[in-house]
């Protein structure tokens, strides 16, 4: 019985909803129950009463892809209570099934196997996978979109596939909020950050590939000064840039450097958890919003009681989380976070602007005291199309920059970044120009992002 249980759990299951009529061995009354999911090895039924393990059943499956009723036999291999529904999930493995009917189920499993698509995306070194109604799977490889195969997904396909990777809790949350961020892992270890959403009534998803190995600073192309920022003992550090610019990867590299070199307690608050850290010299506690904490705000209120030295906030979403993060940085902790802005100075202004006008003077004062650096990022396809290359803008907070923040004169900071090269500072234009001179990026690719295009024309 135990071996059958393990095999059933290893088989890929797909959430679906159709009716099953069943007859328990030794009984004459035909009963009916909805199917929760199906695999190549069996089904999961939702029942109101327990059926003992090893009970044999005759099954009549109204499986939609078969266009007929599938007749087969099975036995109960597991029973789980569905709290608080007062119902039971009854796992049944097939013991006798017609070869043709088994083939119908196997073909369905093959067509709906998202793991196969994700493995192919990893092989192709894709950064993202898009599941969209009316299209085959689409992957983004070095910035360009390419389709995998020619068979488009129907809206019903996507509903089955996407619901198949969600837990009951996640499904309920998605149906309530119509948006869901979560993570997904392949059995062999590949991990993905997933956003599930609706589009014209269709349930669709975007998968971001998370590298299995945390890249080093050298592999990412980060400037040496970022290492110095990572090894600070206190202060506020922001990594900013548009979506898909590698902010989470940069933060992971910074935390891994701390993990390898210092004895610290590191607490991360993420939605969802992306890179998985292995503790080396440091203790690392990775907390996922929605699973380990109700919200960023709620987690931040209590994080200081967990004896942290380093705190990572996946994203600052409102003024309450910003205020708590600033307080943590002011009280001797090293705090990392991300923002979605195009430039480092915009990140500073965004934080201040999140607060009401009557609080902004106080926030400028706090920010001037605890901000130690801002790293702005952009990713570009390499000129040889063999990968992506990182461009960075680095703002190191000196006493002069701190004074400008305090006085609300952030527009003057850019000049200090331009003249602060000896401190490791650089503008985005400087970084782009360096990449261009090395022949790593195409002129027409980077020109729209240049603040002063004349630099490149000269």
Q: What average pLDDT does this structure show over 16-31?
A: 92
Residue 158: count of CB within 10 angstroms of its CB: 22
Task: Between 7 and 324, name the one with better pLDDT.
Answer: 324
| Radius of gyration of the CA atoms of the chain, in A | 27
Considering the domain 217-457 in this protein, what is its CATH number? 3.40.50.300
380 pLDDT higher than 60: yes
DSSP H helices, 45-154, are 99-112, 114-123
Closest CA to 229 of 424, 429, 434: 424
Residue 310: count of CB within 10 angstroms of its CB: 24
pTM, 2 dp:
0.80
> What band does 151 get if pLDDT is binned at 50, 70 and 90?
confident
9 pLDDT higher than 50: no
What pLDDT score was predicted for residue 86? 76
Residue pLDDT, tens place only, 53-109: 999 999 999 998 888 899 999 999 999 988 776 789 999 999 999 999 999 999 888
What pLDDT score was predicted for residue 160? 85
Q: What average pLDDT does this structure show over 332-348?
A: 94
Q: What average pLDDT does this structure show over 421-427?
A: 96
Q: What average pLDDT does this structure show over 99-120?
A: 90
Phi, psi of 278 (to 5 degrees): -105, 120
Residue 454: count of CB within 10 angstroms of its CB: 8
Task: Between 148 and 295, name the one with better pLDDT.
Answer: 148
404 neighbors 395 (Cβ within 8 angstroms): no
Please give the C-alpha separations between residue 58 and each of 12, 30, 33, 103, in angstroms, as whole numbers: 23, 9, 13, 19
> What are the boundaries of each domain within the chain?
2-110, 113-210, 217-457
What is the distance between the terminal CA atoms of the chain, rounded to a whole angstrom?
75
251 pLDDT higher than 50: yes
Q: Which of 102-106, 315-319, 338-342, 454-458 has the lowest mean pLDDT?
A: 454-458
Q: Which helix (H) or strand (E) holds 128?
A: strand 128-131
117 pLDDT higher than 50: yes
CATH of 113-210, one of 3.40.50.920, 3.30.450.90, 3.40.640.10, 3.30.465.10: 3.30.450.90
What pLDDT score was predicted for residue 300? 86
6 pLDDT higher than 50: no
CATH of 2-110, one of 3.40.50.620, 3.50.50.60, 2.140.10.10, 2.40.10.220: 2.40.10.220
């Amino acid at each position: 019985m135990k071996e059958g249980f393990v095999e059933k759990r290893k088989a890929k299951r797909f959430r679906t909803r159709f009716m099953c009529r069943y007859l328990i061995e030794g009984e004459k009354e035909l009963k009916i129950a909805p199917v929760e999911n199906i695999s190549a090895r069996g089904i999961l039924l939702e029942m109101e009463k327990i059926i003992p393990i090893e009970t044999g059943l005759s099954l009549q499956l109204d499986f939609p892809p078969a266009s007929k009723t599938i007749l087969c036999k099975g036995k109960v291999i597991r029973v789980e209570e569905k709290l608080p529904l007062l119902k039971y999930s009854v796992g049944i493995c097939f013991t006798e099934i017609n070869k043709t009917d088994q083939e119908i189920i196997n073909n369905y499993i093959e067509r709906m196997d998202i793991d196969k698509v994700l493995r192919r995306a990893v092989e192709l070194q894709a950064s993202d996978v898009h599941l969209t109604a009316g299209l085959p799977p689409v992957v983004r490889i070095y910035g360009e979109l390419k389709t995998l195969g020619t068979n488009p997904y129907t809206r019903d396909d996507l509903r089955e596939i996407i619901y198949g990777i969600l837990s009951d809790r996640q499904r309920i949350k998605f149906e309530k909020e119509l948006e869901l961020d979560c993570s997904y892992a392949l059995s062999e270890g590949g991990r993905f950050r997933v956003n599930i959403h609706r589009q014209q009534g269709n349930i669709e998803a975007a998968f971001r590939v998370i590298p299995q190995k945390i890249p080093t600073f050298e592999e990412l192309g980060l400037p040496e000064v970022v290492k110095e920022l990572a090894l600070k003992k206190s202060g506020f550090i922001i990594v900013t840039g548009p979506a898909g610019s590698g902010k989470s990867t940069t933060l992971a590299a910074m935390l891994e450097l701390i993990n390898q070199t210092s004895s610290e307690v590191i607490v991360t608050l993420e939605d969802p958890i992306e890179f998985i850290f292995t503790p080396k010299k440091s203790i690392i506690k990775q907390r996922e919003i929605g699973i380990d904490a109700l919200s960023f705000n709620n987690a931040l209120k209590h994080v200081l009681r967990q004896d942290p030295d380093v705190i990572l906030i996946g994203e600052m979403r409102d003024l309450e989380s910003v205020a708590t993060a600033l307080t943590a940085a002011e009280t001797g902790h090293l705090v990392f976070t991300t923002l979605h802005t195009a430039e480092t100075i915009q990140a500073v202004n965004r934080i201040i602007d999140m607060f009401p006008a009557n609080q902004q003077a106080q926030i400028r004062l706090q920010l001037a005291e605890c901000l130690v650096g801002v790293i702005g990022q952009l990713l570009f396809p390499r000129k040889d199309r063999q990968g992506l290359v990182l461009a960075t803008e680095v703002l190191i907070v000196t006493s002069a920059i701190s004074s400008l923040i305090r006085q609300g004169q952030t527009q003057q900071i850019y000049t200090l970044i331009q003249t602060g090269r000896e401190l490791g500072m650089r503008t985005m234009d400087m970084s782009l120009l360096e990449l261009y001179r090395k022949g790593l990026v195409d002129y027409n690719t980077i020109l729209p992002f240049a603040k002063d295009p004349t630099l490149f024309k000269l």
